[in-house]
Chain A
Amino acid sequence: MKDTKVIELEEVAIRFSGDSGDGMQLTGTLFSDTSALLGNDISTFPDYPSEIRAPQGTVGGVSGFQVQFGKNRITTPGDLAHVLVAMNPAAVKANAAFMSPGGTIIFDVDSFSEKNLEKALFKTNDPFAELNLQDFEKVPVPITSMTKESLKDMDLDNKSILRCKNMFALGLICWIFDRPLDYIESYIQKKFGKKPLIAEANLKVLRDGYNYGMNIQQTTPQYIVHPAQIEKGTYRNINGNNATAWGFIAAAEKAGLKLFLGSYPITPATDVLQALAERKDLGVKTFQAEDEIAGICTSIGAAFAGHLAVTSTSGPGFALKSEALGLSVMAELPLVVVNVQRGGPSTGLPTKTEQSDLLQTLYGRNGESPIVVLAASTPSDCFYYAFLAAKIALERMVPVVLLTDGFLGNGSEPWRVPSMSELPSIKPRIAKNPELFKPYRRDPETLAREWAIPGMEGFQHRIGGLEKNIAGGVSHDPENHQINTNLRAEKVERVVEMIPELKVIGEPEGDLLVVGWGGTYGHMISSVRAMQEEGKKVSLAHFNYIKPLPKNTAEVFSKFKKIVVCELNLGQFASYLRDKEPGFKYYQVNKVKGLPFSVHELVENFEKILEA
């Protein structure tokens, strides 16, 4: 796996930009001060227009303020901004060149009128395409109209109302980056002490902006960058949800099948549904179902009808899908479920990342109900694991769950795009001989049954959720149930032949093996590399194959004096390993704050374990 470095949440550069009258300097300053009070080191860079009285709405009249904040010592305001808050089209134009690739643009959609686009000298009505910003995350927010609506019952003239727009943007940004409002509130009260109406208006709009962020469940942007040494090839920026969606399209093309996604919108997984809904050009069928259960059930129907069938969701939705997932275990149909994990339990923290659905995924169904579980580890490798999940499902006639998380799903990184010729073949197990066909006759090696699809002549058969004999008849025979239960478990175990061995990053033996899985990879590798540079005998084993585990897992573990399992939950993978690979002592590093690990907290923990 390649080395990556995560730009941690607290090292983000935000640029506030608008007309010189939009109050961007004040907005930026208030946000910086709030961050500083939280203990962040900050560096700011006010960028006034060169012409003090440049005409409104023109590029020359744009005023900006950039702030970079982080835990570590920040020495520059950041070369490129990760987040741009643009109050008008001119602000987008003026700042396009200073944006980090794949960054987020939050803009006042109300100001993107034909007139304003003209003032900023755009030639078309799609400014983002004109500036080649297609791959940026764009968050259109009706800042002007929301501000007007917010203050409509106050006795204020239009000009005074519009002056509060910046507070809406500031409130929204405070929600996105988890900043408390109290410092800003006290500042406003002090500043407008003699104008209580103005103070009240600013405070109201600030809070409305904050609540708006909460209502649209705007997630915190995450960034991953690679060290300078990179591979040759064609690159693009991609986020995890898009990569997941595209991985399935690639799998369908490779397998010669149509792709079907049944899904219900849920944060932070909705983008998978949206990305696939866009791809009618490639024949993708998306079915926005009435609920999570129908999302998986329509997919099971599509799998029965011979499509590559996928359903996407997040934790609470995954819980609703569990009965139907059991049906796909019993019916032995190919199905992929994507769970873009978020903070739980229940509604939990919808916009925040966590890895706490692991045990739900492995065990959260009635009966003995084994499935294959994979976990992606970077935004771009979601593409490959989605592809592989589909390959396993189609070749082994088994449901596969792909675990990603909010951090991967929303996080973006530059990606060397592969060509389809780099991807392995996918050979669905479509039945060939009606004379020999029996619904539950299995390949002796893989234990996979055959896939006979309605419309195929001579293969008419019945399947269902009741226990069956080989011929597909309902069977309550005790011996038959025992045999089939064992077979379904063994079928999943034999997928081990399709997956690579566990690789160790660093020396194959040493004092400490750091174990992680899924979306924490960027932070894990950064922290292990940091310790290796200090001469510590620390290596990393990062898991993407959860069930079955790679064959050589125990062998890898046996070469280290200590093993520490790091995950964003209270120790779910650690307890799974204790069950599957007993005989080792597993130290744990766990975090459930809805945030990724930070490199320094990992290093600190590893040092303690080494000393213990």
Chain B
Amino acid sequence: MTKYNYTPKDFKSAAEVRWCPGCGDYAIMNAVQKTMADLDIPHKDFAVISGIGCSSRFPYYMSTYGFHTIHGRAAAVASGVKSANPNLKVWVITGDGDALAIGGNHFIHLVRRNIDINVVLFNNKIYGLTKGQYSPTTDRGFITKTSPFGTIEDSFIPGQLVLGSRGTFFARAVDSNIKHTQDVLAEAAQHKGTSVVEVLQNCVIFNDGIHNYVTDPKFRAERQIFLKKGEPMIFGENEDKGLILEKGKLKVVKIGENGITRDDILVHHPEEDNLGLQVALINMALPEFPVAMGVVRSVEAPVYDQEMKKQIETVQEKRKITCVDELLRSGNTWEVTDEKCHEPVKFFDDPCFEK
């Protein structure tokens, strides 16, 4: 039994959705709306903040409080919103260009501070709104309008950046796998601290099929591994492949071959502060490895907005100064009472100030 009985529809605004037909954004938005409805938290307490890019139009399509800010700055604006009012549920909707290029600095510092904000990072490895230039997640050598001969730079792996910034929560999902995206978002929403969910999103116009090799549902079982807390890291059509650590490195093995049993397979512990293994999971790439999906890391750490609140409360418990009148008269002051001195001319004497 839920308190508010929200449905995803309660989170849709009346605005016409203007993403291209077939865009991966639709599926992600549906998953976010479903997640918000399921959270059973008053609708008035959600704030959705975005920067610039296709995905950043998101707030207009939500019926919650929303702020469509400027390029790269969603994380900074959201940090201010959440620090000001920790009761709000603050979501940041951003893309690979917005969060990792122009907004890279705010992104890593948000993660480092561990402010309780949910970041949904739409990664389509391209600039869509400006019609197809390479982004910081575009693979080396890829041909785009600004790299007609192929890019000559390596890309960010978003999860690496998050963990390198001392991130407490990172997960990965695929736009078209709606049920799994919802599961991941639900976990992200429950996490205390900054959560980053990278969604592999398809841009039908400028980068159609960029993730297909990974995301094609026909090969999902072979090419993706769905990590679940407390369960062995097993994948494959017949659930017969798994991951083990050998000489400090991850290795794909077949259960039943070379004496390997289910018990030999690594068990996933996102709640443990095991940075090395978690980064290794994030780095797994085809064809040698399946691509890791689900919550890779979810650890507890002090949360910035709560710490800010707590610090003020602690100081206020012992405070000597309780209001501005006391502040102005604190420390070194002296009285002037000489008869020759006149009464003060008050700064705000002019009637205009009370209009």
Q: Which residues does A use to contact B, with CB under 8 Å?
A: 2, 101, 132-135, 229-237, 246, 249-250, 253, 258, 260, 262, 279-283, 285, 287, 289-291, 293-294, 297-307, 309, 323-324, 326-327, 331, 381, 384, 388, 391, 416-420, 422-425, 454-466, 473-474, 497-500
Contact = CB atoms under 8 A, between A and B. Distances in A.
Contacts of A297: 69, 73, 76-77, 79-80, 106
A500 B332 CA distance: 32
Nearest to A415: B328
Given A236-B332, A300-B69, A229 B324 contact: no
Contact of A418 (B46, B311, B323, B347): B347
16 contacts: A134-B331, A229-B341, A231-B341, A236-B331, A246-B324, A282-B323, A297-B79, A301-B81, A302-B81, A305-B84, A326-B70, A388-B353, A420-B325, A425-B354, A454-B65, A464-B69
B67 interface: yes
A258 B86 CA distance: 13
A171 B97 CA distance: 49
A235 B336 contact: yes
Contacts of A229: 340-342
A280 B315 contact: yes
A355 B140 CA distance: 48
Given A134-B331, A285-B84, A300-B69, A458 B77 contact: no
A327 B46 CA distance: 21
A2 B345 contact: yes
A301 to B, nearest CB: 3
Given A235-B336, A302-B83, A460-B63, A454 B44 contact: yes
A249 B69 contact: no
B348 A135 contact: no
A497 B352 contact: yes
Contacts of A133: 332
B341 to A, nearest CB: 5
A300 B60 CA distance: 19
A239 to B, nearest CB: 13
Of A309, A331, A464, chain B has the most CB atoms within 10 Å of the CB of A464
B320 A232 contact: no
Interface string B30-71: 000000000000111111010000000001101111111110
A298 B80 contact: yes
Nearest to A503: B350
A388 B88 CA distance: 30
Given A293-B76, A297-B106, A462-B66, A234 B335 contact: yes
A297 B342 CA distance: 46
A389 to B, nearest CB: 13
A561 to B, nearest CB: 28
Consensus secondary structure, chain A interface: mixed
Interface residues of B, number: 73
Given A282-B324, A331-B67, A422-B348, A235 B335 contact: yes
B87 to A, nearest CB: 6
Consensus secondary structure, chain B interface: mixed
A280 B69 contact: no
Contacts, number: 242
A420 B323 contact: yes
B341 A418 contact: no
B69 A423 contact: no
A456 B80 contact: no
A253 B324 contact: yes
A460 B76 contact: no
B274 interface: no
Given A287-B79, A417-B333, A460-B44, A282 B327 contact: yes
Given A2-B345, A232-B341, A423-B348, A294 B65 contact: no
Contacts of A459: 44, 65
B80 A260 contact: yes
A309 to B, nearest CB: 7
Nearest to A301: B80
A135 B79 contact: no
B78 interface: yes
A598 B133 CA distance: 56
A462 to B, nearest CB: 4
A497 B352 CA distance: 7
A301 B87 CA distance: 14
Contacts of B70: 323-324, 326-327, 465
Given A232-B344, A280-B316, A462 B59 contact: yes
Given A455-B85, A465-B69, A460 B328 contact: no
A460 B64 contact: yes
Contact of B344 (A231, A291, A324): A231
Contact of B45 (A2, A231, A232, A454): A454
Given A331-B67, A463-B68, A424 B312 contact: no
Contacts of B85: 305-306, 454-455
Contact of A232 (B49, B77, B336, B350): B336
B353 A498 contact: yes
A260 B83 contact: yes
A458 B65 CA distance: 10
A301 B324 contact: no
A294 B76 contact: yes
A499 B353 CA distance: 7
Contacts of B348: 384, 422-424
B20 interface: no
A112 B245 CA distance: 57
A498 B323 CA distance: 26
Contacts of B2: none
Contacts of A279: 327
Contacts of A384: 347-348
Contacts of A235: 333-336
Contacts of B336: 230-235, 416
A307 B84 contact: yes
B249 interface: no
* Closest A-B pairs by Cβ, 10 of them: A301-B80, A464-B68, A298-B80, A297-B76, A281-B319, A462-B66, A305-B84, A280-B315, A454-B65, A290-B109
Contact of A281 (B320, B329, B354): B320
Contacts of A324: 70, 73
A298 B77 contact: yes
Given A233-B344, A463-B67, A260 B60 contact: no
A133 B70 CA distance: 47
A446 to B, nearest CB: 10
Given A294-B106, A381-B347, A461-B66, 18 more contacts: A230-B341, A231-B343, A235-B334, A235-B336, A246-B324, A287-B80, A290-B106, A293-B106, A294-B73, A297-B77, A301-B78, A416-B336, A418-B344, A420-B323, A454-B65, A457-B44, A464-B59, A500-B350
A465 B353 CA distance: 31
A304 B81 contact: yes
Nearest to A381: B347
B333 A236 contact: yes
A466 B66 CA distance: 13
B84 A302 contact: yes
A462 B311 CA distance: 32
B355 interface: yes
Given A232-B341, A235-B333, A458-B44, A424 B353 contact: yes
B312 A419 contact: no
B5 interface: no
Of A232, A289, A473, chain B has the most CB atoms within 10 Å of the CB of A232
A383 to B, nearest CB: 9
Nearest to A425: B354
Contacts of B347: 381, 384, 418, 422
B328 A135 contact: no
A530 to B, nearest CB: 23
